[in-house]
Amino acid sequence: MLHRHRRAAGSVAAATAALLVAGLSGSASARPAGPTADAADTAAVAAATAADTLRTADTSAAVLTAMQRDLGLTDRQQAERRLANEAAAGARAGTLRSALGADYAGAWVSGRESRTLTVATTDPADAPAIRATGAEPLVVRHSLADLDAAKERLDRAAAARRTTADVPVRYVDVRSNRVVMEAIRPDAARALTAAAGVDPALTRTVKSAERPRPLYDLRGGEAYYIGNSSRCSIGFPVTRGSQHGFATAGHCGRAGSSTSGYNQVAQGTFQASVFPGNDMAWVAVNSSWTATPYVKGAGGTQVQVTGSAQAPVGASVCRSGSTTGWHCGTIQQHNTSVTYPEGTISGVTRTTVCAEPGDSGGSFISGSQAQGVTSGGSGNCSSGGTTFFQPINPLLQTYGLTLRTTGGAPGDPGDPGDPGEPGGTWAAGTVYRAGDQVTYGGAAYRCLQGHQAQPGWEPPNVPALWQRL
């Protein structure tokens, strides 16, 4: 067994964010003379250049499809026009921000295709220059610099107080020309405003019951902690219906045991566990965690998992674990029995891959195919050793889990291809063993390699997995 007892508690927090600001193009109907004309010309050139750059970019078809779905767009062309307009608007708004200086109060786009760019200013005299670029001017009371400064004071006050959990979200809303505070209790927002010394005229409170939480990804090979006693590694992220979780070794925890993630954040609970006999378990995670189709590879790279076709004896196999990282070797024997001090487990696979305490539960993968979760062994990663893994397909079958996968290259298992005629006994999500027979599209097939079926792996599409009878 290769779990590791915890000796000290630590805390690691990482947060990343990316902010994309965009606005639109428009055609100028009039242009003032003098410096404002220069600003208009500069904005127009920048907008045209941005639009041309975007039009030559290779925007992913998946991005355009998602835009249609989530933004209520009618077709791909509408999505492309929206992107072009937003690229032009970003350049136009940036140029105007520089030209307006301290008067600038923000910019935003509107309309299904983002055709309208509005630029706010505190000085009515700026309106002709804004209009000359094709944007709509809006005269407001507070500059963006003033609003940003007010928000910064609110943030400092929030960091110094322990009672700001009821005002979890604060932002500058350029449309309303206010710093908005989303608050569980409005009186908490008033108290924060007073503590920050911010003029209430700069703020607006929106009552909200939402309490934002951080979101984390599950990756094979990452560490997780069981209670306050030990550490293991995630095997493979899985789902069961809409529930996300991960497969791991049974000796890592019993049903009901709670887990926390690599970052010490509350994560989930063991739903079922078998050890000895087998060495399998699965953990259901809370809504802060999401199953991904990845295993942590060498140097922290992400290795895609596209299925679970069982590799033969002699095949190469690699392991990811939270103690020793990424190591490779070969499969020596399937269907091995091994006796640990706690009892005997059967049906595991023996490998030449090394492992150490803390690697338990971690991913064994051959190419892009999930093989199993680390059980135990002998030796170490300095002198070498032998390691056993619990095969993944019996684990998935036992608990009714679906391996989280992503498609491979065209023609690989995972590529949807042509599903042929529907019908028959074959079903996605089913774990098949070598020798199992199914029907599909009016024909019969025999399984050649154990695997969990998934869309794109219909028998006619994957001759490496199915033989037509």
Same domain, yes or no: 436 and 452: yes
Same domain, yes or no: 271 and 391: yes
Whether 189 has a pLDDT exceeding 80, the answer reads: yes
In a domain, 24, yes or no: no
Same domain, yes or no: 236 and 257: yes
In a domain, 375, yes or no: yes
What's the pLDDT band for 9 if we cut at 50, 70, 90? Answer: very low
Give the CATH number, domain containing residue 339.
2.40.10.10
Same domain, yes or no: 271 and 345: yes
* CA 82 from centre of chain: 25
In a domain, 200, yes or no: yes
Same domain, yes or no: 348 and 419: no
| Higher per-residue confidence, 155 vs 285 | 285
In a domain, 363, yes or no: yes
Considering 167, 187, 207, which residue would you say is the last residue of a domain? 207
Average pLDDT over residues 405-429: 61
Considering 167, 188, 207, which residue would you say is the last residue of a domain? 207
| Higher per-residue confidence, 164 vs 165 | 165
Same domain, yes or no: 236 and 263: yes
CA distance 436 to 453: 12
Residue 117, both tokens: 């760019």
Q: Which residues pair with 169 in a beta bridge?
A: 182
CA distance 32 to 69: 42
Number of domains in the chain: 4
Whether 414 has a pLDDT exceeding 50, the answer reads: no
Lowest average pLDDT, out of 9-13, 41-45, 239-243, goes to 9-13
Give the CATH number, domain containing residue 201.
3.30.300.50
Residue 243, both tokens: 């529930």
Same domain, yes or no: 399 and 448: no
Which domain does 63 fall in, by range? 35-115+122-139
Same domain, yes or no: 375 and 338: yes
Considering 385, 406, 427, which residue would you say is the last residue of a domain? 406
Active-site positions? 251, 279, 360
In a domain, 5, yes or no: no
CA distance 156 to 161: 9
CA distance 380 to 36: 72
Angle, helices 144-160 vs 186-196, to 10°: value is: 100
What's the pLDDT band for 13 if we cut at 50, 70, 90? Answer: very low
Same domain, yes or no: 249 and 329: yes
Predicted TM-score (pTM) of this structure:
0.67
In a domain, 275, yes or no: yes
Q: How high is the pLDDT of residue 144?
A: 95
In a domain, 20, yes or no: no
Same domain, yes or no: 253 and 397: yes
- DSSP tag of 119: E
In a domain, 365, yes or no: yes
Average pLDDT over residues 413-420: 44
Same domain, yes or no: 367 and 221: yes
What's the pLDDT band for 356 if we cut at 50, 70, 90? Answer: very high
Same domain, yes or no: 168 and 277: no
